[in-house]
Amino acid sequence: MQNNANTFYNEILTEHNLHPYHKHALPDANFELEGVNPNCGDDIVLRLKVEDDVIVDGAYEGDGCAISQASADMMLDLIIGKKKEEALRLSDIFSRMIKDKITEEEREELEEAGILQDISHMPMRVKCAMLGWRTFRGMMETDQQTE
């Protein structure tokens, strides 16, 4: 069973790296924030279009390891279409999952991003998986709107 889980994990990471759906410019974004992981050099610029408290579109650009890039892409899959409050709740669940402290029901709410749960056992990769989520949370908490 563990081998099947690893295969599934690798397939999803590979898919999000070879064919990222959300890695592109977003010229009409009204929120933007750069996130950097100085430990390994991962760097993303997260952009969101938010209207009436709903995240209607999102994208990122940047470079980094497979985990940071796939995690950002999965995060955008999950939060686009959600109210900011709900997206922040999902961000909190993801953060707690990386620390290995969530219920199975919460993990299911994370959809594909739930496959990153095992990162909690790889301390050097936790910051990679958290980069997009941390950038999103920072953007919302500091209200990083573009002019």
CATH number at residue 121: 3.90.1010.10
Strand, helix or coil for residue 9: helix
Domain count for the chain:
1
Structural domain includes residue 62: yes
Give the per-residue pLDDT at 118.
83
Q: Which residues pair with 47 in a beta bridge?
A: 32, 59
Residue 5 has pLDDT above 60, yes or no: no
Give the per-residue pLDDT at 12.
84
Residue 16 has pLDDT above 80, yes or no: yes
Contact criterion met (CB below 8 Å) for 135 and 94: no
pLDDT digits (tens, 9 = 90+) for 66-95: 999 999 999 999 999 999 999 999 999 999
Tell me how far apart the 2 most distant CA atoms of the chain are, in Å. 50
Structural domain range at position 25: 2-142
